[in-house]
Amino acid sequence: MAVKAALVFVAVAVLLAYYCDQPVPEGIAEPRLYAKVQGMVFRTVQNLAKIGEYLGVGTEPQNIRSVMETIVNVGLKLKGSSYREGLKCTDTMFDGVKVRVYEPVSAAQSGSKVPGLLYFHGGGWVMLSVDTHDPLTAHLAKQLGAVVVSVDYRLAPEHVFPAAFDDSVAATKFFLQNAEKYNVDRTRIGISGDSAGGNLAAAVTLVLAKEKDLPKLKTQALIYPALQAINFNTPPYINHGHLNTLSKDRMVSLWLWYLNNDLSFKKVFEANNHTGVQIKKSQYAGYVDPEVVDVTPIKKENVKFPEITNISTILDPRFAPLMADDADLKGLPPTYVMTCEYDVLRDDGVMYARRLGKTGVKVNHDHYEHGFHGFLNSFDDYELAGIAMQNYLTYLRKNL
Ligand SMILES: *[C@@H]1O[C@H](CO)[C@@H](O)[C@H](O)[C@H]1NC(C)=O
Ligand SMILES: *[C@@H]1O[C@H](CO)[C@@H](O)[C@H](O)[C@H]1NC(C)=O
């Protein structure tokens, strides 16, 4: 045990020293220290998780999850829980799915109905939780005077697609059907999420738009969402794929844990060899990359894929919302998209906003030239993240 502990200690020290040395792009938001420290921690966690798996201590995704959550939870302990004042927070179940409900006390006393917001936390479908996002979701409930439901969907790789998606749909439907119990106006319910949570929010919105017997979602607000897995060579993947805050290496692993928990083809995905010429010249390629023009439309059922488990799922909009046809995008509710320059997922969000706008959906797009992936969670800690939070809240106040 002592030997193992010593090994881990040495590994941490070496990795930290190494990542301290990694440059952070000049353009990243002040204080750049945040991006640097956050990146250093993430990268170190990732490598320790791999070392752990190698030493026979848990799998890589399990290790990433437990270390990340430990770090975040220590941060939360230090923060205290005063940020929850004025809220009633309840952990409960919505149709078999765990959720945390935040009800502003003032809203309950006022007697009139309030808006509602479903929130899906980020973490690559693999890590983080309603706990790690507690300050953010509590802040939304307070600032909006809305009932916020933070959904504790099942995580990959223990539960691959469509588990997280199914949970997200079930919780959303339940809230729409039972809004009155929470004093919520069912015609004023929106949906939101960051990163993998933005993916789930977008996927749920696409599917529920087709349901006839439910109230319509009032808006979707997508924070640097992950929306496609057919092209890992978009300009941000090429230019910022090395960033420690979210590297291409990390993002491809996360997609694969969610898809089928099989990383043996990771290099094939990274090289964009998981799709053939057919897809690369099809409408799907055009959905991701505006440079791809003169596409040859293909039907999903005619696409030839390499022999990889469940690979055809990458064209399923419930898994990758950017794969939705224009006909599916038409009629979606007003949409807010937040993107960051220093983020491999930049163009996922940029292209979704552009395509929605073209099909006539009302879109508000905030792009942060100096922002980086995950920065919104630091809304309390530094200026640009605080400004981004304000702009996001302003949108929600007007559109919920
Ligand atoms: C393949 O996809 C189906 C449904 O889309 C899912 O139920 C199944 O668990 C997946 N298998 C693997 C190995 O990912
Ligand atoms: C990807 O495909 C190209 C062209 O067919 C090939 O040269 C390259 O070795 C492949 N790389 C991987 C990792 O599959």
Which ranges constitute the DSSP H helices of the chain?
2-20, 32-54, 60-79, 105-110, 134-144, 163-177, 196-208, 235-240, 248-259, 266-270, 277-280, 283-288, 326-329, 346-358, 383-399
Mean pLDDT of 141-153: 98
pLDDT digits (tens, 9 = 90+) for 28-50: 776 666 677 777 788 888 888 88
70 lines ligand 2 (CB under 6 A): no
Active site residue 195: yes
Q: What Å distances lie between residue 78 and 72, 73, 82, 374, CA to CA? A: 10, 9, 11, 20
88 lies in the same domain as 74 = no
The number of beta carbons lying within 10 Å of the beta carbon of residue 17 is 10
Residue 7 pLDDT class (50, 70, 90 cuts): confident
Rg of the chain, C-alpha, whole Å? 21
Residue 110, pLDDT score: 77
Looking at the domain assignment, is residue 86 inside a domain? Answer: yes
Return the ligand number nearest the Cα of 232: 2
Phi-psi region of 145 (alpha: psi -120 to 50; beta: other; left: phi over 0): left
Q: In terms of domains, do 169 and 220 share one?
A: yes
Does 238 map to a domain? no
Statement to judge: residues 13 and 90 lie in one domain = no
* Residue-number span of the structural domain to which 376 is assigned: 81-229+319-399
Q: What's residue 40's pLDDT?
A: 79
Specify the number of domains making up the chain: 2
Query: Please, which pLDDT band fits residue 19 given cuts at 50, 70 and 90?
Result: low
Please check the confidence at residue 133 and state whether its pLDDT lies above 80: yes
User: Is 96 in the same domain as 185?
Assistant: yes
5 confidence band (pLDDT: 50, 70, 90): low
Q: Give percent of the chain above pLDDT 90.
A: 75
Cα 77 to middle of ligand 1, angstroms? 38
State if residue 137 touches ligand 1 by the CB under 6 angstroms criterion.
Answer: no
Res. 17 pLDDT band, cuts 50 70 90: low
Do 99 and 210 sit in the same domain of this protein? yes
The verdict on pTM exceeding 0.85 is yes
The answer to whether residue 208 is domain-embedded is yes
- Per-residue confidence (pLDDT) for residue 179, from 0 to 100: 97
The mean pLDDT value for 172-193 works out to 97
Tell which one of 257, 264, 310, 314 to mutate to probe ligand 1, the residue whose CB is within 8 A of the most ligand atoms.
Answer: 310
Q: In sequence order, which residues have a C-beta less than 8 Å from that of residue 176 and are 6 or more positions away?
A: 186, 189, 208, 214, 215, 217
Q: Mean of the per-residue pLDDT values for the chain?
A: 92
Nearest to 274 by CA among 242, 297, 300, 252: 252
Q: Is the pLDDT of residue 1 over 90?
A: no
- Res. 74 pLDDT band, cuts 50 70 90: confident
The first and second tokens of residue 157, run together, are: 């790789």
In a domain, 190, yes or no: yes
Residue 165 lies in a domain: yes
